[in-house]
Amino acid sequence: MPDHIVSSYDTDLEDLRRSISEMGGIAEKMMTDASNALVRRDVPLAQAVIAADRRLDTLQREIEERAILLIARRQPMAIDLRETISAIRVSNDLERIGDLAKNVAKRVVAIAEQIQPQKIVIGVQHMSDLVQEQLKDVLDAYGSRDTKAALDVWERDGAIDALYNSLFRELLTYMMEDPRNISFCTHLLFCAKNIERIGDHTTNIAETIHYLVTGANSLAESDRPKNDASNYATVDLPLPGLGAGA
């Protein structure tokens, strides 16, 4: 970024960048820890994720307040204005990612004492691994202003949705096979949906990177590669009292 005549202007922008970087680090750790807590049924780790959300909320408010003051004082234009607006957008997405990771952690606390086969959790873990990779990649893209890497994250969102649809049906099947799985699998369904939503927020950040660098909203105006069909998913249940030949 070019230097400005007023050096404090550069300091203001750099402070925003540092705060976004700190938020990104916290959000990444919260998601990783929430996923690990789910796999291990680690309640202390889940509680640490829940506690970490307060710092993320504080940073988001500070970034928003500083960005508004910067706009009022400096009246930025072009790239400076886009960077300031982008900081507000990205901080909002990172704050929501923290909320969603916290929601997963709360589910971990709820199911910690339930004994269930580990294979039920594996699908959720796999999806979480993919979304964690998306989050890391999009934060790196934001730091380097890499629109190509941002586009790659944006295009991968459809694969996350497809995996969520598959996981949704798999968990429903577990519930149908044994009613004792219903409570545990219901919590896992909510965990999976929270993780899928984190993927959506990484896509939001990718769109913001494109706007920041190019000044165009063309990615946001395009149809996202969405494949979430869980709202319309149905599972056929056998009717009581009817045999296979009925």
Q: Which fold has domain 7-229?
A: Methane Monooxygenase Hydroxylase; Chain G, domain 1 (1.20.58)
Cα–Cα distance between 227 and 203 in angstroms, integer? 14
pLDDT tens per residue across span 22-70: 999 999 999 999 999 999 999 999 999 999 999 999 999 999 999 999 9
Average of per-residue pLDDT values in the chain = 88
pLDDT given at position 218: 72
* Position 83 pLDDT exceeds 60: yes
- Using pLDDT thresholds of 50, 70 and 90, give the confidence band for residue 78: confident
In the chain, where are the structural domains located?
7-229
Contact 60, 23 (CB under 8 A): yes
Q: What percent of the chain has pLDDT over 70?
A: 86
Which DSSP string do the residues of 161-197 spell out, in sequence order?
A: HHHHHHHHHHHHHHHHH-GGGHHHHHHHHHHHHHHHH
pTM of the model: 0.86
For the ranges 80-84, 117-121, 183-187, which has the lowest average pLDDT? 117-121
pLDDT given at position 47: 98
pLDDT given at position 112: 87
